[in-house]
C-alpha cells in the first residue's frame, strides 16, 4: 500500500530546480553516481545529487532532501527521471514496476505444487526443488501428480490450521506471483549471461586471432565464466531459501520480503547487463565481420566488476603492498 505522506511523482520545491529547463536525473556510466544533467547552451552539465544537496543546504529530513533520496533509489529501477515523472513502485510500495511473463507465473506455481507433493511424501526439510523447465512443463500433464497435489493441499490446510484447501491454494498462488519475477530474471539474465559465456568459449576454441585478440579472448573467457558463476550462486541461494514450501506458507511476509529483495537486486543487475546482452544477441542473429569492438566493449563492462582487484590494479597503476582486496563488486 502506498504511504499517503510519500509523494508519488518526482517533484522538487527549491527554486533552483525551476531555473533549468527539464533537468534529467540518471546515474553515471562510470560509477553509477546519481546525478542531475542540465543543458547549458550546447553543452551538458552533470552534477551529483549529493553535491547539489550540500551546495543548496538542503537538509536530509526536508521535503527536497527526502525527494532527492527517493530519486536516487528510483534510479535503481528506471534509467532516468524528469520532474513530474511518476516514481517506480519499488520505492513506493515494494511492488515491481514491471510484469513477469505468464509462462513464468505458471512455472513458479508448478514448482511450488511439486514442493507440496515432496513435503507430503518426504522427510521434512528435504523437498525437491525442480528447476528443469521441461520437467516442470510435463508435470502439469500428469494425472497421478494432479491427484497428489490435491491431497497435499488438503493436508497442508490441516497443518496450517486453515479451514479449506482453497485457502492454501490462494497463498500458494500469491507466492507464485512473487517467485515469477525470479523465474523471469532466470531466463532473461542468468540464461543471457550463460549464452554470452558460451559464445566467448566457442570463439576461444574456434578462432585463430592475432596475439592481442587471443589475450583479450582469454581474459573474457575468465571474466564471463566468473560472472556466470557468481550470478548462478545468487539464484542457488534464492532457490535454497525458498525450498521449504510449508515454511514459506507459515511465514509469508518474511519470505515475501526476502524474495522481493532478491528480485530487486537481480533486476538492477539485469539493467546493468541489458545493453551488453542485447549487443551479443544482435551479433548472434547477424554476425559481424569484425567482432573486436564487441569484445572490447564487453571487457570494459566485465573487468571492473569481476576481475580480481590485484589484477585490475596492475592494469591501471603499479600495485603497492598496501593494496588489498579480493574482487570488485556491483
Q: For residue range 301-310, what is the model confidence (pLDDT) as tens digits?
A: 999 899 875 5
In a domain, 5, yes or no: no
Q: pLDDT band for 209, please (50, 70, 90 cuts).
A: low
Q: Do the domain assignments include residue 224? A: yes
Average pLDDT across the chain, whole number: 87
End residue of a domain, out of 47, 77, 92: 92
Cell reading at 235:
539464484
Does a structural domain hold residue 163? Answer: yes
110 and 207 share one domain: yes
- Mean pLDDT along residues 89-117: 93
* Domain C-terminal end among 65, 92, 119: 92
Whether residue 300 sits in one domain with residue 330:
yes
Do 173 and 209 lie in a common domain?
yes
pLDDT of 324 higher than 60? no
CA Rg, the chain, in Å? Answer: 24
**Per the domain annotation, does 309 fall within a domain?**
yes
Q: Is residue 107 a contact partner of residue 180, using CB atoms and an 8 Å limit?
A: yes
Place of cell 587471443: 214
The residue range of the domain holding 34 is 15-92
Whether residue 22 lies inside any domain: the answer is yes
The DSSP output letter for 85 is: P
Q: Do both 88 and 124 map to the same domain?
A: no
Stretch 169-195: mean pLDDT, rounded? Answer: 97
Percent of the chain predicted with pLDDT > 70:
86
The structural domain count of the chain equals 2
Q: Are residues 271 and 178 in the same domain?
A: yes
The answer to whether 26 and 38 are in contact (CB under 8 A) is no
**End of a domain among 92, 117, 135?**
92
Q: From CA 144, how far away is CA 159, in angstroms rounded? A: 23
What does the pLDDT read at residue 200? 95
Q: What is the pTM of this model?
A: 0.84
List C-alpha distances in Å: 244 to 92, 95, 117, 172, 294: 30, 23, 11, 12, 43
Please indicate, yes or no, whether residues 182 and 292 belong to a single structural domain of this protein: yes
- Give the mean pLDDT of 53-68: 96
The whole-number pLDDT of residue 212 equals: 73
Confidence band of 206 (pLDDT split at 50, 70, 90): confident
Please tell me whether residues 148 and 213 are part of one structural domain: yes
Q: Are residues 191 and 219 in the same domain?
A: yes
Does 82 lie in the same domain as 130? no
As a whole number of angstroms, the distance between CA 293 and CA 300 comes to: 11
257 and 142: one domain? Answer: yes
- Residues whose CB falls within 8 Å of the CB of residue 153, separated by 6 or more in sequence, listed in order: 116, 165, 168, 169
For residue 1, tell me if it sits in a domain.
Answer: no
* 96 neighbors 178 (Cβ within 8 angstroms): no
Residues 129, 22: one domain?
no
Determine the average pLDDT of the residues in 124-153.
74
According to the model, what pLDDT value does residue 222 have?
Answer: 96
Q: Is the pLDDT of residue 30 over 80?
A: no
Q: Are residues 114 and 249 in the same domain?
A: yes
Classify residue 2: in a domain, yes or no.
no
Q: Is 7 within a domain?
A: no
| Residue 106 pLDDT greater than 50, yes or no | yes
Amino acid at each position: 500500500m502506498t504511504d499517503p505522506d510519500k509523494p508519488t511523482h518526482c517533484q522538487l520545491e527549491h527554486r533552483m530546480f525551476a531555473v533549468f529547463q527539464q533537468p534529467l536525473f540518471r546515474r553515471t556510466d562510470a560509477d553509477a553516481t546519481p546525478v542531475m544533467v542540465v543543458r547549458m547552451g550546447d553543452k551538458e552539465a552533470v552534477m551529483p545529487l549529493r553535491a547539489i544537496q550540500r551546495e543548496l543546504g538542503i537538509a536530509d529530513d526536508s521535503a527536497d532532501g527526502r525527494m532527492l533520496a527517493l530519486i536516487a533509489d528510483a534510479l535503481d529501477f528506471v534509467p532516468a527521471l524528469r520532474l513530474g515523472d511518476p516514481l517506480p513502485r519499488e520505492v513506493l510500495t515494494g511492488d515491481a514496476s514491471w510484469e513477469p511473463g505468464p509462462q513464468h507465473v505458471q512455472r513458479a506455481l508448478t514448482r511450488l505444487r511439486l514442493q507440496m507433493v515432496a513435503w507430503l511424501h518426504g522427510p521434512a526439510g528435504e523437498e525437491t526443488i525442480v528447476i528443469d523447465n521441461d520437467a516442470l512443463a510435463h508435470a502439469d500433464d500428469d494425472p497421478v501428480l494432479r491427484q497428489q497435489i490435491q491431497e497435499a493441499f488438503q493436508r497442508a490446510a490441516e497443518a496450517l490450521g486453515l479451514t479449506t484447501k482453497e485457502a492454501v491454494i490462494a497463498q500458494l498462488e500469491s507466492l507464485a506471483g512473487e517467485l515469477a519475477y525470479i523465474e523471469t530474471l532466470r531466463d532473461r539474465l542468468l540464461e543471457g549471461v550463460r549464452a554470452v559465456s558460451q559464445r566467448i568459449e566457442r570463439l576461444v576454441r574456434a578462432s585463430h586471432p592475432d596475439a592481442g585478440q587471443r589475450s583479450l579472448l582469454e581474459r573474457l573467457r575468465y571474466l564471463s565464466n566468473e560472472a556466470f558463476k557468481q550470478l548462478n550462486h545468487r539464484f542457488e541461494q534464492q532457490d535454497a531459501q525458498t525450498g521449504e514450501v510449508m515454511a514459506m506458507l507459515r511465514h509469508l511476509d518474511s519470505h515475501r520480503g526476502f524474495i522481493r529483495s532478491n528480485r530487486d537486486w537481480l533486476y538492477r543487475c539485469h539493467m546493468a547487463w541489458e545493453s551488453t546482452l542485447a549487443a551479443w544477441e544482435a551479433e548472434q542473429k547477424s554476425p559481424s565481420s569484425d567482432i573486436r569492438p564487441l569484445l572490447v566493449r564487453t571487457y570494459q563492462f566485465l573487468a571492473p566488476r569481476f576481475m580480481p582487484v590485484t589484477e585490475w590494479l596492475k592494469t591501471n597503476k603499479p600495485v603497492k603492498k598496501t593494496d588489498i582486496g579480493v574482487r570488485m563488486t556491483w
